[in-house]
Amino acid sequence: METLTWIALGLVALVLMAWYLTYSAARLDRLHAKVEGALAALDAQLVRRAESAIELGASGLLDTASSLLLVDAGTASLEHSLGREGENPLNGRTFLGREGPESNLTEALSVALTPEAVAMLRLRGGEGGGETLGRIHAAALRVQLARRFYNQAVMEVQRVRRKAVVRFFRLAGHAPMPDTVEFDDELRLHA
């Protein structure tokens, strides 16, 4: 009878271990999917911000130098978007090299939107200036939020993947370890 008890306990332990490993693998898969979704959302917000900057630069509401600066920085940002052919746009590593153009776009927006330019854009609300400024501000805020959500998801994946059980049983498979995204996204609009 004692042998049967040990066998039953061993089977229960195996079933619990299999359940725990299955649960952990499924959770890790959901976390990786969350990172991919957050990266896609961040890319969409960066594209929206770049398009708004190009629109403002091409509107003729700013001086020529500021317009050229915005169009150039916005175009550079769009050229580095994640949807380029021949690469997996959602592997978390495609963002490498994109931090520079995104920081440059933030800096270009801050330089172009001087207090005088902001006041002039608000006065020209009827010509679309105030509306365009509002779109720029909203897009910049959405970029900050999307980057924050993405980085939180990445840190959660990294925390789970550091666990000994996940590493020993290789529950992450061949999925690359996602990296956080760091660039200057704080738009300094002058009031």
SS (H, E, C) 85-120: CCCCCCCCCCCCCCHHHHHHHHHHHHHHCCHHHHHH
Residues 6+ apart with CB under 8 A from 96: 179
What's the CA angle centered on 155, arms 150 and 156, to 5 degrees? 100
Residue 132's pLDDT is 87
The gap from C-alpha 42 to its chain's centroid, in whole angstroms, comes to 3
Q: Which two tokens stand for residue 141?
A: 């805020």
The closest alpha carbon to 178, from 111, 85, 92, belongs to 92
Higher pLDDT, 123 or 107: 107
pLDDT level of residue 130 (50, 70, 90 thresholds): confident
Distance CA 121, CA 135 (A): 12
Place of tokens 């666990």: 163
Phi, psi of 5 (to 5 degrees): -65, -45
Computed on alpha carbons and rounded to an integer, the radius of gyration of the chain in Å comes to 24
**Cα separation, 40 vs 68, whole angstroms:** 28
pTM: 0.88
Average pLDDT over residues 80-109: 73
pLDDT at 84 over 80: no
